[in-house]
Chain A
Amino acid sequence: MILYATKRVLLTLPIMLGVTIVCFALVHLAPGDPLISVLPPDASQSIKEQMMALYGFDRPYHEQFLRWLWRVLQGDIGTSIRTGRPVSTEISKAVGNTLMLAALATCIGFLLGTLFGFVAGYFRDTWIDKTASALSVFGVSVPHYWLGMVLVIVFAATLGWLPPTGAGPGGSEDWKWDWVHFKYLILPAVTMSVIPMGIIARTVRALVAEILSQEFVVGLRAKGLSEVGIFGHVVKNAAPTALAVMGIQLGYLLGGSILIETVFAWPGTGLLLNDAIFQRDLPLLQGTILVLAMFFVVLNLAVDVMQTMLDPRIQRA
């Protein structure tokens, strides 16, 4: 087990290196002048060149990459061109906000998704199954920025129950865990939870239906287990696959959603990325993508290791 975990951790190193290369390449291959947001349109050629040299943009790409990688390894992912603050400060604030949002969306999405999935799988081909399945198809297929706007129209504009956008009356800087602030979290979190809910519900339904049709369930019944006891077996059999799907979904949620955070003006990583793209803030963009990509790598690692703990058939050595 420990051997497997170590091996798996070592395997992530080349993946991480690949991630940094892709991340660097993507940002630099994209069209656009990185200094457009800090220089006035009529800046002279010599000032432009001076600035390019200051940020190191005048050097060859491989050198830029190696310098950047070296700094990243030392924990320095650069300075935002636009704000002049370290990228890590910008990201950590945004990550905190996105985590809050993602945590709530995860709770809602995973709970409801698992619940709908189990109910639909157990009552296959009844109206309960059809209702739950319809809900999950809706969840997967509805464009969530549209759903976000509809929710804003209904619950904020028309009913006035919840605030439409933002992260609290005083902005994200003075967030408090009370109802006044929490209200701002509800609409974006609900909107965000809909896709993972749908995907998890469909996965779990298929899993449960498949497991229930297997002979060993008859075997469990034959040895005298109650339906509750059998349910435990169904859960453990469904867990590895369900967990893998949840891991991927959690990755998406933690990465933040550009669309949802933009619709709700939620100051998370999605909004940060959005701003970085529009303002050609290369260090910020690069840093944010890198951090989000690392999230995925670490999360997949965790899911892999957990799966082997749950399913003995997955090779351990």
Chain B
Amino acid sequence: MADTVLDIRNLRVTFTGGAKHVRAVDGVDLAVAPGEVVALLGESGSGKSVTLRSVLRLHPEAKTRIAGSIVAAGVDVMALTGAALADFRGKTVSMIFQEPMLALDPVYSLGQQITESIRKHEPAVSAEAARRRAFELFEQVRIPSPERRLDAYPHEMSGGMRQRAMIALALACNPKVLLADEPTTALDATVQVQILLLLRELQRNLNLSMIFVTHDIGVGVEVADRIAVMYAGRIVEIGAVRDVIRTPRHPYTIGLLSTRAQGGRLSGNRLTTISGSPPDLANLPPGCAFAPRCASASAACREAAPAPVDLGAGHVVRCIHTAITA
């Protein structure tokens, strides 16, 4: 793709800290266009957050082996070291965390944390100017009485307000790409919707590119242009939201959607589930990782990892049985 702001190619992340090496991400390719939102969908341990954090190289280097290429806004992320990496983080690409209570420093006021970020990346900005910008950011994320809230500490705010402050912090240095790591998971349902709408609005107004990690299909559909479904460290299906939701072609995606769309909605029916459990990432089978749980699996599925099949219009599926699933 010519017009990409973030290009991840063949990303492999292995955690080497434990007794066994855990292959958390196993060959992820993902390109995000300017102003595009991609939802990374998957269950716990599918590698979606690991993929996201790799873009900022946030994994502890001593215990992680990371391979492949990541290019963000023309910057080769994998080649960055030391000060250059610190300059890149939060400036070109910034991140919103799942739990703002844990991801914000408890003993610094929110205003201090935002101005610190601004002045780190733009040393020429004076303390007053930085505070003015923090104030404007708080207005932008619609925090009521922003002047007073700038001096508040994280524990003094509600969950929704904290997440708004977290978004303000992420936007402080006008990044090109925003990484959102389940930003609404820790919130109440009503607050979730407000935060989603706010994120969507800010993303459109600022023409941000965004990767939005979630395990909630509904949230993914709400915010994203494209959906990428991850399973056991690979993207098994990717495509425009309507293609993936209306005509899913990977058995895993089909299973995921059926747990929600049919079985879940009709009262009196048993909830449909995908039988079995996700594979052990320290001990992956050689073929398709979903094969042990897949109804259509054949001998060929267990021998080699399926190659991506392009179904047109950017709808790509890693399954050799797309003819059956159609």
Q: Give chain A nearest CB distance to B6 CB in angstroms.
A: 15
Within the assembled complex, what's the spacing in Å between the Cα atoms of A14 and B182?
52
Q: Is the CB of B106 within 8 A of A223?
A: no
Q: Is the CB of A224 within 8 A of B86?
A: yes
Q: Give chain A nearest CB distance to B142 CB in angstroms.
A: 21
Q: Is the CB of A224 within 8 A of B97?
A: no
Chain A binder among B87-95, B188-196, B222-230, B274-282: B87-95
Within the assembled complex, what's the spacing in Å between the Cα atoms of A229 and B116?
10
Q: A223-B120, A224-B117, A229-B120 are in contact. Are A236 and B107 (CB under 8 A)?
A: yes
Q: Chain B: interface residue count, which band?
A: 20 to 34
Q: Is the CB of B107 within 8 A of A223?
A: no
Q: Decide if A44 is an interface residue (CB 8 Å cutoff).
A: no
Q: Nearest residue in A to B97 (C-beta to C-beta)?
A: A219
Q: Is the CB of B104 within 8 A of A219?
A: yes
Q: Is the CB of A220 within 8 A of B169?
A: no
Q: A224-B86, A226-B86 are in contact. Are A236 and B108 (CB under 8 A)?
A: yes
Q: Is the CB of A233 within 8 A of B108?
A: yes
With a CB–CB cut-off of 8 A, which chain B residues contact A222? Answer: 56, 58, 89-90, 94-95, 97
With a CB–CB cut-off of 8 A, which chain B residues contact A214? Answer: 102
Q: Give chain A nearest CB distance to B181 CB in angstroms.
A: 10
Q: Is the CB of A215 within 8 A of B99?
A: yes
Q: Give chain B nearest CB distance to A226 CB in angstroms.
A: 5
Q: Chain A: interface residue count, which band?
A: 20 to 34
Within the assembled complex, what's the spacing in Å between the Cα atoms of A221 and B117?
10
Q: Nearest residue in B to A222 (C-beta to C-beta)?
A: B95
With a CB–CB cut-off of 8 A, which chain A residues contact B304? Answer: none
With a CB–CB cut-off of 8 A, which chain B residues contact A313? Answer: 106-107, 153, 155
Within the assembled complex, what's the spacing in Å between the Cα atoms of A25 and B179?
67
Q: Is the CB of A237 within 8 A of B105?
A: yes
Q: Give chain A nearest CB distance to B50 CB in angstroms.
A: 13
With a CB–CB cut-off of 8 A, which chain B residues contact A236? Answer: 105, 107-108
**Per-position 1/0 for A182-209, Cβ under 8 A of B:** 0000000000000000000000000000
**Per-position 1/0 for B68-91, Cβ under 8 A of A:** 000000000000000100111111
Within the assembled complex, what's the spacing in Å between the Cα atoms of A312 and B94?
27
With a CB–CB cut-off of 8 A, which chain A residues contact B90? Answer: 222-224
Q: A222-B58, A224-B121 are in contact. Are A233 and B94 (CB under 8 A)?
A: no
Give the residue among A221, A222, A229, A313 with the most B Cβ atoms within 10 A: A222
- Interface residue ranges of A279-317 to B (CB < 8 Å): 310-313
Contact of B106 among A216, A218, A224 (CB under 8 A): A216
**Per-position 1/0 for A227-244, Cβ under 8 A of B:** 001000100110010000
Q: Is the CB of A219 within 8 A of B103?
A: yes
Q: Decide if A225 is an interface residue (CB 8 Å cutoff).
A: yes
With a CB–CB cut-off of 8 A, which chain A residues contact B88? Answer: 224
Q: Is the CB of A223 within 8 A of B108?
A: no
Q: Decide if B4 is an interface residue (CB 8 Å cutoff).
A: no
Contact of B107 among A215, A229, A237 (CB under 8 A): A237
Q: A215-B97, A218-B58, A313-B155 are in contact. Are A223 and B89 (CB under 8 A)?
A: yes
Q: A216-B102, A219-B97, A219-B103 are in contact. Are A224 and B58 (CB under 8 A)?
A: no
Q: Is the CB of B153 within 8 A of A312?
A: yes
Contact of A312 among B53, B107, B120, B169 (CB under 8 A): B107
Q: A216-B102, A229-B120 are in contact. Are A224 and B107 (CB under 8 A)?
A: no
Within the assembled complex, what's the spacing in Å between the Cα atoms of A225 and B91?
11
With a CB–CB cut-off of 8 A, which chain B residues contact A215? Answer: 97, 99, 102-103
Within the assembled complex, what's the spacing in Å between the Cα atoms of A311 and B153?
10
Within the assembled complex, what's the spacing in Å between the Cα atoms of A216 and B106?
8
Q: Decide if B109 is an interface residue (CB 8 Å cutoff).
A: yes
Q: Is the CB of B105 within 8 A of A221?
A: no
Within the assembled complex, what's the spacing in Å between the Cα atoms of A225 and B58?
12
Within the assembled complex, what's the spacing in Å between the Cα atoms of A219 and B121?
15
Within the assembled complex, what's the spacing in Å between the Cα atoms of A311 and B56?
30
With a CB–CB cut-off of 8 A, which chain A residues contact B105? Answer: 216, 219-220, 233, 236-237
Give the residue among A216, A229, A312, A313 with the most B Cβ atoms within 10 A: A216
- Interface residue ranges of B161-198 to A (CB < 8 Å): 169-170, 172-173
With a CB–CB cut-off of 8 A, which chain A residues contact B91? Answer: 224
Q: Give chain A nearest CB distance to B120 CB in angstroms.
A: 6
Q: A215-B97, A312-B109, A312-B153 are in contact. Are A223 and B117 (CB under 8 A)?
A: yes
With a CB–CB cut-off of 8 A, which chain B residues contact A220? Answer: 105
Q: Is the CB of B58 within 8 A of A221?
A: yes
Q: Give chain A nearest CB distance to B86 CB in angstroms.
A: 5
With a CB–CB cut-off of 8 A, which chain A residues contact B170? Answer: 223
Q: Is the CB of B120 within 8 A of A216?
A: no
Within the assembled complex, what's the spacing in Å between the Cα atoms of A219 and B155?
16
With a CB–CB cut-off of 8 A, which chain B residues contact A229? Answer: 116, 120
**Per-position 1/0 for B2-13, Cβ under 8 A of A:** 000000000000
| Additional A-B contacts beyond A221-B89, A224-B88 (6; CB < 8 A) | A218-B58, A221-B58, A222-B56, A222-B94, A224-B121, A310-B107
* A residues at B contact (CB < 8 Å): 214-216, 218-226, 229, 233, 236-237, 240, 310-313
Can you list 18 residue pairs at the A/B interface with Cβ under 8 Å?
A: A215-B102, A216-B102, A218-B53, A218-B58, A218-B97, A219-B103, A223-B90, A223-B116, A224-B89, A224-B117, A224-B120, A224-B173, A225-B116, A226-B83, A236-B105, A311-B107, A312-B156, A313-B155
6 closest A-B pairs by CB:
A224-B90, A223-B90, A219-B103, A215-B102, A224-B89, A312-B153
